[in-house]
Amino acid sequence: MKGLTAPQMKARAESPNRQDRRGHILVVDDDPMSSKLIDLNLREAGYSVTCAEDAVAAGHRIVERLPDLVIADFKMPYMNGVDFIAALRADSSIPDLPVIFMTSIANRPEIAGRTFGFPLLVKPLSVNELLLTVAAQLHARQD
């Protein structure tokens, strides 16, 4: 994969309120309450967060500011989380990003084995499990 595009580098450099010491996370979830809770917990842990309600909005957010990590729900309108990440990985202008998938227990069999080796968290999420998984994924990216 290639590096950041010029607009992405510029946006990253000019980004206000950068908390990049911990990382910038894109949360893609069509459930507003779930998205809000994840956002709140990640911000309290010192991460900067952008939220999107579906894959289309997430694509726009990625163009605006490339995240360090994507947390994607499996079941969403237009495109499920696995297909969204597959589309990102197929785009050579976007570097490989670490991902955390999340799903409900009912959807788990549908997504099992399709997560590109990335973690799969089951809703409702445990805050500790979320934060530990986020830290591990960001740390693995730095290695």
The CATH number that applies at residue 95 is 3.40.50.2300
Q: Rounded mean pLDDT of the chain?
A: 86
Task: Identify residue 56 by its one-letter amino acid code.
Answer: V
Q: Tens of pLDDT along 65-124?
A: 999 999 999 999 989 999 999 999 999 999 999 999 998 877 677 777 888 889 999 999
pLDDT score at 85? 95
> Is position 15 within any domain?
no
> Is position 8 within any domain?
no
Domain count, the chain: 1
User: Over 68-83, what HEC string results?
Assistant: CEEEEECCCCCCCHHH
> Is position 136 within any domain?
yes
> Is position 3 within any domain?
no
The residue ranges of DSSP E strands in 1-143, in sequence order, are 24-28, 48-52, 69-73, 99-104, 120-123
Q: What percent of the chain has pLDDT over 70?
A: 83
Q: Domain limits at 83?
A: 20-142
Sheet with 69-73: strands ordered across: 48-52, 24-28, 69-73, 99-104, 120-123
Residues contacting residue 14 through CB under 8 Å, at least 6 positions apart? none
Omega prior to 16 cis, within 30 of 0: no
Q: Is 138 left (phi over 0), alpha (psi -120 to 50) or beta?
A: alpha
> Is position 7 within any domain?
no
